[in-house]
Amino acid sequence: MAQRIDGKVLAARYKAEAASGAAALQKQGIAPRLAVIIVGENPASKTYVAGKARDCAECGILSDVIELPEQTGEQALLERVAALNADDAVHGVLVQLPLPAHIQESHVIHAIAPEKDVDGFTPINVGRMVLGEECFLPCTPAGCLAMLQSTGVPIAGKDAVVIGRSNIVGKPMALLLTAQNATVTLCHSRTENLREKCAAANILIAAVGKAGFVTADMVKPGAIVIDVGINRGADGRLCGDVDFAAASEKAAFISPVPGGVGLMTRAMLMQNTVKAARLQSGLL
């Protein structure tokens, strides 16, 4: 029976660290502050953004949630981002994705000042990460890595399989695991023999976006399984990409949904925001 990697407990630890960093900054007269822009009425996005604001309050980080209507134009959104870039009181700028179809996400992401890019999504940050330079790590992959490290199992030398090649999760996850000296296979919708590849993995990261995609036969006995999926059933219930009950019979460690990666994503955002405030105050 697998040991559950408790995202709630682990996130609390990372948030406590962010909170003490924020308190240290406040002593020096700096109030760490995050601005989150959300466009439109996507209920899932609203839930995630509310969670981020709650975490900020918990950590002693100021937060502004800027809610813009669905029909907001790309130009107007770019202007809001530029204003936040120019505001010295704001240390982190985050535009919640997805954006409405009439706005090109890359245009908006590219407009965020790299030193305020607490998501780690801008080309400058991504480039720095690829090169192994100091940067803001994207929150979801950084959270997954922290979960892996929490098991105490060494990552170096292990075979890791990442399913999903998105810019937000799969691609950066593969880079982070490579930097930890894992041997990484980055799988996707066109991968041949996916089941066999997964079943050979010591570390399996599922970022597909399909409930029940990872079945027990795809899990190597003793593997570590991290479930990045956040799928909503017709009943509105949240579940991941992994058949949790069946995979738990084979894995050594497994992360749940809810209560897993989502909470770690938010905790890493708190850490990045404190780091941004430190950097902008010339303290790092």
Residue type, 254: I
Contacts of ligand L34 in 194-213 (CB under 6 A): none
Handedness of CA 278, 46, 12, 144 (dihedral sign): negative
The residue within the footprint of ligand L34, chosen from 9, 20, 24, 47 (CB under 6 A), is: 47
User: Please, what is the minimum distance in Å from the beta carbon of residue 155 to ligand L34?
Assistant: 22
The site for ligand L34, by CB under 6 A, has a size of 20
Distance (Å, whole) CA 63 – CA 85 = 15
Which parts of 119-158 interact with ligand L34 (CB under 6 A)?
Answer: 119, 139-140
Residue with tokens 């992959």: 141
Residue 255's alpha-carbon distances to 62, 240, 248, 262, in angstroms, are 30, 9, 9, 11
Q: Which stretch binds ligand L34 (CB under 6 A): 25-33, 93-101, 186-194, 219-227?
A: 93-101
Candidates 43-51, 85-93, 159-167, 201-209; binding stretch for ligand L34 (CB under 6 A)? 43-51
DSSP lists the bridge partners of residue 163 as: 187, 206
> Does residue 265 bind ligand L34 (CB under 6 A)?
yes
Report the distance separating Cα 95 and Cα 108, nearest Å. 8
The Cα-based distances of 205 to 15, 25, 26, 146 in angstroms read: 23, 35, 37, 13
Active site residue 227: no
Q: Work out how close the CB of 69 gets to ligand L34 at its nearest, in angstroms, rounded to a whole number.
A: 18
Identify the residue among 135, 160, 230, 270 touching ligand L34 (CB under 6 A). Answer: 230
Catalytic residue status for 52: yes
Q: Is 187 helix (H, G, I), strand (E, B) or coil?
A: strand
In the bound complex, what is the minimum distance in angstroms from residue 252's beta carbon to ligand L34?
22
Q: Which residues bind ligand L34 (CB under 6 A)?
A: 47-48, 51, 94-97, 119, 139-140, 230, 238, 257-260, 262-263, 265-266
Provide the annotated active-site residues: 52, 96, 119
